[in-house]
Copies of this chain bind each other. A is one copy, B any other.
């Protein structure tokens, strides 16, 4: 029996084209040419302008020999050039590498060398730091371009060969970029801020960026011409792909150099912002604004948050302030968000504690993620869907990275058994929603028993004097490890270590109770995550 569908129905230019998010901007420039694409201080760029500037950038880069296989690194705040780089760089076939602006010179130098950076674009604010980093590189001697942002008032030297505006001025606004021959081609490179060893370079491809670019619209039910405020750093997983997402719907980007209360509230009200993203700390910033900075909003704002599930009190305060919060989860390796706490309207009717339990779960895959489960990483068998048996969270689908650049060993490990191993420990609930319990490396193994540091922290957060808490393993001769709690107390509240331990004994299994309690300010990363590796060091000396 022959298969009639196997004959004479091949791909050709008319019916097959590479998926790439670059086509989103091309379309919006055609369909909404006069619509405002970017707001930055007093600057405004239309979609026609955004597209023309991106093509000029691509043309200027290409005329400097940049193309397929090259890396362009950028050290930029959330500014128009950062958005233009998300299009202009891959238009040449090159790969965009956004640098974390809070890293130190040594790691930045390592990154430039590892990425084999050919061109480096630097905002004036970071020029001193990058000059130091450049003095430390072993191989990379990139062409350096300065960006002199009119919104950056302070001093800052120019360290490059040209200023960004002058550099793109010579470019062709009609530059004839081409889609990649293969949608699997690399589009960007994001280094993970590893807590040990050297950072790993996570490589994204055009196909995944296209699918998650659309995926944010689908998951967020985003309407045409939505307005997005840049509180999330774009250097973080390419801003969860929102630089591409907004072009799907001809939306407006509102740039923001720094997460400060007054500019945020002003943007929300003046530009009628509909969506923004950020770590939970951004919610605290918004809610904690001085009353005179807060503005009346005449519309509901959608806030996407990741990392820890938002506490009920924060959600209630956000709702009062005019925000609807959606809880996402993902990793650098999954292009940012890949999992969503997809809210079931029926849960609105649950008692508060049950509703909070539902909210605490990370959830289900984005439409663009094919599969998500929790497995025993040794046997690669799913755990029981009972909300209790712990395993490693595993993902697969088209929004998982190509792999780690020049680190095949790490890639092979991450993809063992045909699943991406997140390194996060979690459980699977009966309804298919997952819930995180810990990072693999954050689990505490005491006397052979696994203790979820998150579980101990959740209990401690309910103590009336506790403002913030992190629990880590302290090496112990007898038990292997024991839990050690680091706590920030609320202003005006007081507690002794004995009070805390007593409270834990009353509220958790004996073996989970911290043996040591330390009151201190918790060290945090630039994106507001608590740095447990520092606390683990401190715990050794407690």
Task: Please list the residues of chain A having a beta carbon within 8 angstroms of any beta carbon in chain B.
Answer: 1-17, 19, 23-24, 27, 30-34, 68-69, 95, 116, 184-186, 203, 208, 214, 217-218, 221, 223-225, 248-249, 342, 344-346, 364-365, 367, 370-371, 395-398, 400-403, 405-408, 411, 414-415, 418-420, 431-432
Q: Which residues of B contact A95 (CB under 8 A)?
A: 5
Q: Which residues of B contact A8 (CB under 8 A)?
A: 403, 406-408, 411
Q: Give Cα distance in the complex from A7 to B407, angstroms.
A: 10
**Given A15-B398, A24-B367, A398-B16, also A7-B218 (CB < 8 A):** no
**Given A19-B398, A69-B1, A405-B4, also A12-B248 (CB < 8 A):** no
Decide: A15 and B420 in contact? CB cutoff 8 A: yes
Q: Give Cα distance in the complex from A194 to B385, angstroms.
A: 53
Query: Nearest 10 pairs between A and B by C-beta?
Result: A3-B69, A13-B418, A8-B408, A9-B402, A15-B400, A5-B186, A17-B370, A14-B415, A9-B403, A14-B420
Decide: B367 and A214 in contact? CB cutoff 8 A: yes
Q: Which residues of B contact A2 (CB under 8 A)?
A: 69
**Given A9-B402, A13-B396, A14-B415, also A367-B27 (CB < 8 A):** yes
**Given A14-B420, A415-B12, also A69-B402 (CB < 8 A):** no
Decide: A11 and B405 in contact? CB cutoff 8 A: no
Q: Which residues of B contact A365 (CB under 8 A)?
A: 27
Nearest B residue to A5 via CB reads: B186
**Given A218-B217, A218-B248, A364-B30, also A419-B68 (CB < 8 A):** no
Q: Give Cα distance in the complex from A30 to B217, angstroms.
A: 20
CB-contact partner of A5 in B203, B249, B408, B418, under 8 A: B203
Q: Give Cα distance in the complex from A50 to B389, angstroms.
A: 30
Q: Give Cα distance in the complex from A364 to B364, angstroms.
A: 34
Decide: A15 and B342 in contact? CB cutoff 8 A: no
Decide: B396 and A186 in contact? CB cutoff 8 A: no
Pick 27 A–B contacts, CB within 8 A, sort by A.
Answer: A3-B68, A4-B405, A5-B95, A5-B405, A6-B69, A7-B408, A8-B403, A9-B402, A10-B402, A10-B403, A12-B415, A13-B418, A14-B395, A14-B414, A14-B419, A14-B420, A15-B208, A15-B400, A15-B402, A15-B415, A17-B398, A23-B370, A27-B365, A30-B364, A32-B344, A217-B217, A221-B224
Q: Which residues of B contact A402 (CB under 8 A)?
A: 5, 9-10, 15
Q: Which residues of B contact A221 (CB under 8 A)?
A: 223-224, 249
Q: Which residues of B contact A19 (CB under 8 A)?
A: 398
A221 to chain B, nearest CB (A): 5
**Total identical chains:** 2
Instruction: Choose among A4, A184, A217, A405 the residue with the greatest number of B CB atoms under 10 Å from its CB.
Output: A4
Q: Which residues of B contact A7 (CB under 8 A)?
A: 406, 408
Q: Give Cα distance in the complex from A420 to B364, angstroms.
A: 39
Q: Give Cα distance in the complex from A419 to B14, angstroms.
A: 4
Q: Give Cα distance in the complex from A34 to B344, angstroms.
A: 10
Nearest B residue to A207 via CB reads: B16
Beyond contacts A13-B396, A14-B420, A31-B364: 9 other A-B pairs, Cβ-Cβ < 8 A, are A5-B69, A5-B95, A8-B403, A14-B414, A14-B419, A15-B400, A17-B370, A17-B396, A214-B214
**Given A1-B69, A19-B398, also A218-B223 (CB < 8 A):** no
A237 to chain B, nearest CB (A): 15
Instruction: Choose among A13, A32, A34, A203 the residue with the greatest number of B CB atoms under 10 Å from its CB.
Output: A13
Q: Which residues of B contact A225 (CB under 8 A)?
A: 345
